[in-house]
């Protein structure tokens, strides 16, 4: 019943968010990592959609030795060489994964999601996923194994296509910063509330937003509580909607 409710909610939100004509039902998959004995562990995932680098977050991760999985786009990689260099200098902390080439939603019919125009065709979804992986290859990073599309919503057919390309799809269980639009206090509260097995999503590409300050506060609170952080490659992530199996 709970699963049904969750699915129904995801569908309802998606229906509401897209234009009504020809809109497909989209899925917003969740992801958890396996719970562990002890103080618990969480996976921090940070999206670098475009724009610049929030050095408040990047510095805090390095200084506090907090590992993170960073979902980067081709656009972001192009304009943030200094940040990429810092991440590559700390391979024990940062895992870089595929957030697409141009940050267009992996939805294979023409529609808008949160105002962003979808890829719009199977060919365009393929191009988005493959160009994201190609941009990462240029940096010398290991080949990505995870994909997260812009808006983190997918049409079921695009979902299946991405899985066929060999990528796991990275959902999440805690929306830490509401697309980087939340205030610092609410962001910190959401992240600090993470429990064993949670996968947090937030953004590392909005240095002028208050949310970034909240991301740092929330992470430090989790660390103080004794939770450990893992990257997606170091944990058994289990997603719904057939995103990881």
**Which positions ≥6 away from 57 have C-beta within 8 Å?**
46, 202, 204, 212, 215, 216
Task: Please state at what angle helix 81-88 crosses helix 55-63, rounded to 10 degrees.
Answer: 10
Closest approach of Zn ion to the CB of residue 103, in Å: 6
User: Please, which residue, 33 or 201, has the CB nearer to Zn ion?
Assistant: 201
Closest approach of Zn ion to the CB of residue 105, in Å: 9
Give the CA count within 13 Å in the CB-facing half-sphere of 163. Answer: 14
CA distance 31 to 225: 22
User: Please, which residue, 150 or 235, has the CB nearer to Zn ion?
Assistant: 150
The 27-66 site mask, x for binding Zn ion (CB under 5 A), equals: --------------------x-x-----------------
User: Please, which residue, 150 or 227, has the CB nearer to Zn ion?
Assistant: 150
Closest approach of Zn ion to the CB of residue 111, in Å: 17
> Which residues in the chain belong to E strands, given as ranges?
31-33, 41-48, 68-72, 94-98, 112-113, 116-117, 146-147, 168-169, 174-175, 199-203, 228-230, 237-239
The 120-159 site mask, x for binding Zn ion (CB under 5 A), equals: ------------------------------x---------
In the region spanning residues 195 to 234, those forming contacts with Zn ion, defined by CB under 5 A, are: none
User: Please, which residue, 41 or 243, has the CB nearer to Zn ion?
Assistant: 243
Number of residues that bind Zn ion (CB under 5 A): 3
What six digits make up the tokens of 74? 């081709």
Q: Report which residue's Cβ sits closest to Zn ion.
A: 49
User: Please, which residue, 47 or 128, has the CB nearer to Zn ion?
Assistant: 47
Strands 228-230 and 41-48, bridge-based pairing: parallel
* Dihedrals phi, psi of 139, to nearest 5 degrees: -75, -15
Cβ contact 93:68 at 8 Å: yes
User: Please, which residue, 27 or 227, has the CB nearer to Zn ion?
Assistant: 27
* Dihedrals phi, psi of 224, to nearest 5 degrees: -65, -30
Closest approach of Zn ion to the CB of residue 68, in Å: 15
Closest approach of Zn ion to the CB of residue 166, in Å: 21
In the region spanning residues 173 to 202, those forming contacts with Zn ion, defined by CB under 5 A, are: none
Contact positions vs Zn ion (CB under 5 A): 47, 49, 150
């Amino acid at each position: 019943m709970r699963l049904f409710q969750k699915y129904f909610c995801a569908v309802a939100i998606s229906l509401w968010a897209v234009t009504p004509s020809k809109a497909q039902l989209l899925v917003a998959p969740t992801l958890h990592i396996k719970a562990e004995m002890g103080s618990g562990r969480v996976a921090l995932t940070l999206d670098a959609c475009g724009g610049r680098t929030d050095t408040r977050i990047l510095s805090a991760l390095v200084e506090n030795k907090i590992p993170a999985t960073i979902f980067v786009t081709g656009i972001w990689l192009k304009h943030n060489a200094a940040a990429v260099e810092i991440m590559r200098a700390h391979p024990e902390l940062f895992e870089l994964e595929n957030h697409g080439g141009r940050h267009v939603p992996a939805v294979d019919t023409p529609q808008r999601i949160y105002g962003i125009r979808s890829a719009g065709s199977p060919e365009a979804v393929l191009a988005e996923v493959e160009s994201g992986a190609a941009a990462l290859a240029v940096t010398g990073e290991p080949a990505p194994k995870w994909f997260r599309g812009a808006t983190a919503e997918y049409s079921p057919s695009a979902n299946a296509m991405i899985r066929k390309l060999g990528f796991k799809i990275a959902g999440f269980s805690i929306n830490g910063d509401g697309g980087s639009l939340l205030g610092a206090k609410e962001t910190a509260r959401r992240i600090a509330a993470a429990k064993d097995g949670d996968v947090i999503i937030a953004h590392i590409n909005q240095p002028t937003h208050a949310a970034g300050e909240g991301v740092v506060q929330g992470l430090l609170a989790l660390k103080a509580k004794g939770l450990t952080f893992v990257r997606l490659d170091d944990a058994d992530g289990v997603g719904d909607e057939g995103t990881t199996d």
